[in-house]
Amino acid sequence: MTDTSSEASTAPAADTPASSTGFNLDDFEVRVLAVLIEKSFVTPDTYPLSVNALLTGCNQLTGREPVMSLSESTVLGTLQRLAERGLVTQRHQANARVSKWEHQIRLRHSLTPPMQAVLTILMLRGAQTVGEIRARCERMHAFASPADVEDVLERLGDKGMAIQLPKAPGTKEARYTHLMSGEAAAAQHQHAFDTSSEGGAPRGSRVSELEEEVRRLRQQVEWLTSEFEAFRNEFK
């Protein structure tokens, strides 16, 4: 989990020039922008988002890699930087007690809904295979086939927003990542993945450990269910 106490040092200096295209975003800007795009798909009734709703989305424990722990002040500062780049806008609604925020990625970069969905998943979850992207995009856009995902990735690549990474040792499928933080950041993430693949536990071993953990959890759920049913039957 990202330490909130280190937020000030991670964010870019105030005099860092903004890219004219809105790229070279820092980790906080990537997270805030991605959450705004995601929520515009999955919770349209509550979109645009208040700062509190956005903060909750940024810090949620599921569907986020890495998990972060941002403060309200960090989110507000991040929104201001994104607004200066033209990537988000603040909306003041009549009779609303708080102002809300919405992304402008669709208009600024002419992204279709499928392209927005894929880019968002890459920004929220890091480098992934086509299969992982397709499965994780389900709530935002249902792709009929892996080929459809590959087509979107190619179009994002043409816009300089996504790239296919070299295959890491011992892997069969190619992985893709976003370029919203720049090519240097993408290369750094790839190096970190390669290092962990070479020096860490074998992938098969990690999968086996996870499968065993799932099996134990299922057994616990079954036991609790049976105990609850027995307790309920006492009052029938």
143-185, pLDDT tens digit by residue? 999 999 999 999 999 999 999 999 888 888 999 999 999 875 5
Is pLDDT above 90 for 100?
yes
Q: Where are the alpha helices (DSSP H) in 111-166?
A: 113-125, 130-136, 146-158
| Residue 230 token pair | 């027995």
Average of per-residue pLDDT across 8-21: 38
pTM: 0.73
Write the burial class of residue 222 (CB in 10 Å: 0-12 exposed, 13-18 middle, 19+ buried): exposed
Separation CA 40–CA 222 (nearest Å): 37
119-129, pLDDT tens digit by residue? 999 999 999 99
Separation CA 143–CA 7 (nearest Å): 36
Tell me what pLDDT residue 129 has: 96
Is pLDDT above 90 for 217?
no
CA 108, chain centre distance (Å):
20
